[in-house]
Amino acid sequence: MYPGIVVEKAEINSLHLSRKVTVDFYLPQNVVHPDEMSLLLVNDGQDLVKMNFQNILEKLYSDNDRIRPVFCAAVHCSADRKLEYGVAGIPDFANRGNKADVYTSFILKELLPYIRHTYHVYSFRENVFAGFSLGGLSALDIVWNYPGIFNKAGVFSGSLWWRSVDQTEKEYDDDRHRIMHQRIRNGVFNPGQQFFFQCGNMDETADRNYNGIIDSIEDTLDIITELAKKGYDKDRDICYVEYADGKHDVDTWARAIPEFMKWGFSY
């Protein structure tokens, strides 16, 4: 049954981030059993406004009941986006991402409790985290680090190049200095987790090793390889979508969002 959508905006006073955090809540209506909803958190939530996510959701709901009800919390970024997003506890070579651990604390210790206390939904069918570009890296890192909380990650044009040594330095090495790849390599297999990745052939033009594959695609394919080495099945646990004309922009991500939603929340 088509549940309809209500959008509510909140300003959450975060003690961890020492600022107000704007969150848009996309709430399915007329849900009989709230614990049958899935929770979707989205970084760079302001981009959902630009792509008219409400209309995308309504079409998915009304088009032959393609997806289950999803409670979506879209977290707007701040001026400190390049500091708050990243890999928790491991800033990049330019010290970006040095607040990623604090942002993680906001998600776990403030946003999730806010949802429980405000909307009286104390458990969800599953918890999913997605994001765009650097927000996608952040979402993947949080899902990877907290398998007891999050089941799935959605990474759109993810900044998976994130590195501890500048690639212009002589000692730079893909295998040793890409931070998220190392985190997965040094981690463990968590049964039940699944991952969605989207890239576009026009995400960028950089090709640091001159192999004819742009870096954003190569970094993503290498992450998938690391996940497969850990034990994740490429067919069952990982979905990869690549658009020949896809760019690093909201219009491309708006095309990919329905594919992600059907992958993640279909009956």
> Residue with structure tokens 């998220």?
180
The answer to whether the CB of 29 falls within 8 A of the CB of 50 is no
Instruction: Give 58-109 as a DSSP string.
Output: HHHHHTTS-B--EEEEEEPP-TTHHHHSS-TT---TTSTTTTHHHHHHHIII
Using a pLDDT cut of 90, give the percent of the chain over it.
89
Q: Residue 259 — φ and ψ, nearest 5°?
A: -65, -40
Is the pLDDT at 20 greater than 70? The verdict is yes
Chain segment 137-181, per-residue pLDDT in tens = 999 999 999 999 999 999 999 999 999 999 999 999 999 999 999
Chain segment 39-60, per-residue pLDDT in tens = 999 999 999 999 999 999 999 9
Chain segment 56-104, per-residue pLDDT in tens = 999 998 876 579 999 999 999 999 999 999 999 999 999 999 999 999 9
The pLDDT of 246-259, averaged and rounded, is 97
The answer to whether the CB of 136 falls within 8 A of the CB of 155 is yes
The pLDDT of 12-26, averaged and rounded, is 98
Whether domain 5-265 has CATH 3.30.590.10: the reply is no
Could you tell me the residue ranges of all domains in the chain? 5-265
Q: State the pLDDT at residue 64.
A: 63
Residues in CB range of 17: below 8 A, 6 or more apart: 78, 84, 99, 102, 103, 106
The pLDDT of 8-37, averaged and rounded, is 93
Give the Cβ contact number of residue 267 at 10 Å: 7
pLDDT band at residue 3 using 50, 70 and 90 as cut-offs: low
The pLDDT of 15-21, averaged and rounded, is 98
- Please give the C-alpha separations between residue 232 and each of 153, 193, 250, in angstroms, as whole numbers: 13, 8, 29
Q: State the pLDDT at residue 241.
A: 98
Q: State the pLDDT at residue 65.
A: 58
Pairwise CA distance, residues 128 & 27, whole Å: 15
**What stretch of H or E contains 10?**
strand 5-14
Q: State the pLDDT at residue 33.
A: 82
Chain segment 188-199, per-residue pLDDT in tens = 999 999 999 999
Question: What is the DSSP secondary structure assignment for residue 35, as one 8-state letter?
Answer: G
